[in-house]
Amino acid sequence: MKQTTEYNCDVLVIGSGAAGLSLALKLAKHCQVIVLSKSKISEGSTKYAQGGIAAVFDESDSIDSHVADTMEAGAGICEHKVVEFTAKNARDSMQWLIDTGVDFDEETNAKGETKYHLTREGGHSHRRILHAADATGKAVQYTLSDAVQLHPNIRLFERFNAIDLITSKNDKKQCLGCYVWNREIEQVEVIRSRFTALCTGGASKVYQYTSNPDIASGDGIAMAWRAGCRVANMEFNQFHPTCLYHPQAKNFLITEALRGEGAYLRHADGTRFMERFDERLELAPRDIVARAIDYEMKRLGADCMYLDISHKPAEFVIKHFPNIYKKCRTLGIDITRDPIPVVPAAHYSCGGVMTDLNAKTDLNNVYAVGEVAYTGLHGANRMASNSLLECVVFAHSAANSILSRLDETLTQETIQPWDESRVSDSDEEVVIQHNWHELRLFMWDYVGIVRTNKRLERAMHRIELLKQEIQDYYANFRVSNNLLELRNLLTVAELIVRSAMQRKESRGLHYNLDYPEQLENASPTILSPEEIKSKNV
């Protein structure tokens, strides 16, 4: 058997978005860190976040108000202590980003004082969104990326796929590190770590239409599940209401801040329609807006709806939304005069790997931070601009927990080399491509914005058939990027469908025509690998 290359570090951070890079920077003063990035360091969901980050900076606002808004958006199943913890730590976390170099927009008030410009988004009762024009995520990503690449205690491994967590033979609650696939030399290697942090982002690539970059394939959720971690609330996948509808746009988002600044949703003939769905009109939470657009498209047989901010002064629009203005102009749309064609697209996973306030998972030395995690913050629906906030707040709490444990003695044992002696190079790549497209299409059709019991049953039936095919393929051929992602997406799809089948109501992002009402006493949907395994035996 060929010897497997092995690297060592104190902390392995899998993922290079806001969560992973914030965590790495907080840790690196005190220990050796490896950051694993599936693509280039900057190519994650953080980079594409347009709107901003929620925190109480305005004197008329309050932490209690931020908590109340988040609880309401979460449709009754947010965990109050987690929401309060996040809101209380929001300002300090934003100050850390500012100190690190993130340049949020400022304005001068009537008294001549310079303050941060705060915008408002759906679900928020106050202006509390810090932003860098309409490209906040890019500003955060590039600032953190630059700092990480300059830090002497951080090693960056770009173009590496995480395959599976390695658990101890003696203590299954202990993680020894991770098998990783080096994409440059196409070989499996080992990273041994005392602590491992999953910061891999979400799983919206499981759907046919998504605003997410290609790497959002649920890797951390699937790896944690295979290693024995519980997951929660996987049925709540957020569909962004307004993704640019254009054949050349691919996955370009139109930020909610546009509606926050007064944009209207219209039919092709110019009539508005949100008054029929919610008294908050265009400022209703995302799930309501996404369902309204989806409903109107299906009712009218329309390809899209339209978002219109042309009634605002052109100077205002261009100043506040320069990137959207430039992008739309390249496609022949002048947003200062023309409405923007939009459709909903899978955007954000509100569920994930279960963690506590320190971001600890069920595995003793494994943490999960950001979209990969279920902290209890989002409940049945994420409120706009709480996501990047969650990344930074919980990166800091995870870092504090890890730093307090650096003196612990953890399991030391030999890690089995990766065995490729019985597999060959694939000569049937078409199988992966076919299964890939089939999975994403039936998830969109059967487990999308609106669901039914029959649709969920059909989806589960297809998942069971695909599982056997992918298992056989994985056992017989060498790993590749597409195979690893398909394997993980199939696991995530099963978790989404199982969770959706367990929820006998419609709440937040989960809307089932067979259960249109809300239960009086609802709770998070929790799935355990051991329980699922015992049921299937």
- Cite the active site residues: 286
d(CA 323, CA 50): 9
Can you tell me whether residue 271 is helix, strand or coil? coil
User: What is the token pair recorded at 511?
Assistant: 């809307």
Query: Is 127 within 8 Å of 119 (Cβ atoms)?
Result: yes
What would the two tokens of residue 449 be? 């914005």
Distance CA 167, CA 354 (A): 18
Residue 409 in tokens:
């003695």
| CA atoms 243, 249, 255, 258: torsion sign | negative
- The owner of tokens 């939009």 is 342
Backbone angles phi, psi at 143, to 5 degrees: -65, -50
Six-digit token string for 314: 């052109």
Q: Residue 67: CB partners within 8 Å, gap ≥ 6?
A: 80, 83, 84, 87
386-398: string of b/e by CB count within 10 Å (b at 16+)? bbbbbbbbbbbbb
What's the residue count for the chain?
537
Task: Decide: 306 and 328 in contact? Cβ < 8 Å.
Answer: no
The SS3 of residue 154 is strand
d(CA 251, CA 248): 9
Pick the closest to residue 132 from 121, 145, 117 (CA basis). 117
